[in-house]
Every structure is written in C-alpha cells, then in structure tokens.
Homo-oligomer: A and B are copies of this chain.
Amino acid sequence: MAVNPTQTRIRNAAIRLFAKKGFHGVGIRELAQAAKVSPASLYHYIGSKEELLADIMWESLERLLSAAMLATTDVADPREKLGRLVTLHVVAHAVQSKETAVVDNELRSLAPKLRKRVIDKRDAYEQLWAETIEQGAEAGLFRSDHDGLARRALLEMCSGVARWYSTKGEIKLDTLASEFTDIALRSLGTGEAPPQPDMDRCRTIVKYTWGTKV
C-alpha cells in the first residue's frame, strides 16, 4: 500500500498522468520520468503498467468503500444514511479528483482478469447505495427505485464532481456537500424538507481515510 517513498512517487505520478491523459495516453518512459526513476527501475515496483492501474483503482475503491461503511453502520434513518453516502462520495471526488476520475474512466483499459477485481469492489460499494435507497423506500421516506434509475442518476451526478470541481474555486467543500445532499434527498424524497447529515462525523471519516485533506 505504498509505504516506500519511490513506490509513492510512482503511484502519485501514475494517478496524475492517467487522470490527465488516460491510461493509453501515457507511456512508460513518461511515467518513469515523472516518478524520477528509469523505465527499467519502474519494473522493480510494478508488475506491469496494467497491474499498476488496477492496483490504483482497487485501492481507491477500497478506501471509498471502507469510508462509506464506517459512516453508515449503526445508522437507522435511511435519510441520514444516504446523506452521509452522498457527502462522502462528493467530498472524495472533490479532494481526490484525480484517482476517482481514473476509477470512473479507466475500467475499459483493464483486461477481464484484472477488471473483475475492480468491478467487484465497485459493485460492493454501489450495493450500499442500493440498500440504503431500498430501506428508505420501505420506510415510506423515499420513492421506490426498483430500476435503480435514481441510484444511477445520483451516483453519476456525484461522481461528476471530479470532472469540474476545483479546490481553488469559489465553492466551499461544505457548500458542495450540503447542496448535493439536498438535491439527492429531494430527488428521492416525498416532499418533506430533507435533514442534513452529521457533517462532523463525515469530516472525521474523510480525514481518517484520505489523510490530512479537508
């Protein structure tokens, strides 16, 4: 999980370049130069270019999933649960926009074997959303979403943050999160004013999961 400084440099360079140019748009030599190693040395740290991509994607999803589970276990109210899922998802895509963009865009660059591991993780994560929405529907708090249409719409909306949000822009992270939570809950809601989730708890989890950001 990237403890070695050289490993970390390679990992970070790969995330930055893959996000900017796409997996196939980055050559090994360019990657090596950005990580300040020779192309040959690169292969002491990675199995192959593709494995490097798969590792990055899987670990990114692993962090997102564990953060989401941490935030939703023992939460009874589906509205609170969904609000936290949205907040974490949006904040993750805002502060880790590079690696989340890679996760969202580069699944196609993985051969079936490596792809499966990543897809399984992603499905496990999206399952959290599906369960939460279903619970809300059963409780009469959300409109039912038996096609998963609303879930997909909301996930795409929240993931899109990585494509346009800039931490240097005028929009504060808190504004972003609460606005998106609002939109999400009102999309699913039955009309009542949606409650805001426990922001402090989410902030703590974000800090714990992704480090010093936020």
Contact = CB atoms under 8 A, between A and B. Distances in A.
A171 interface: yes
Number of copies: 2
A109 interface: yes
A180 B183 CA distance: 13
B150 A183 contact: yes
B108 A22 contact: yes
> Which DSSP category, helix, strand, loop or mixed, fits chain A's interface?
helix
Given A159-B160, A160-B159, A191-B191, A109 B25 contact: yes
B147 A171 contact: yes
Contact of A22 (B109, B159, B187): B109
Given A22-B22, A186-B187, A179 B150 contact: yes
Interface residues of A, number: 33
Given A21-B109, A152-B160, 13 more contacts: A20-B108, A21-B108, A24-B25, A149-B171, A153-B160, A153-B183, A156-B160, A156-B161, A156-B163, A157-B157, A159-B160, A183-B187, A186-B187
Interface of A: 20-25, 105, 108-109, 147, 149-150, 152-157, 159-161, 163-164, 170-171, 175-176, 179-180, 183, 186-187, 191
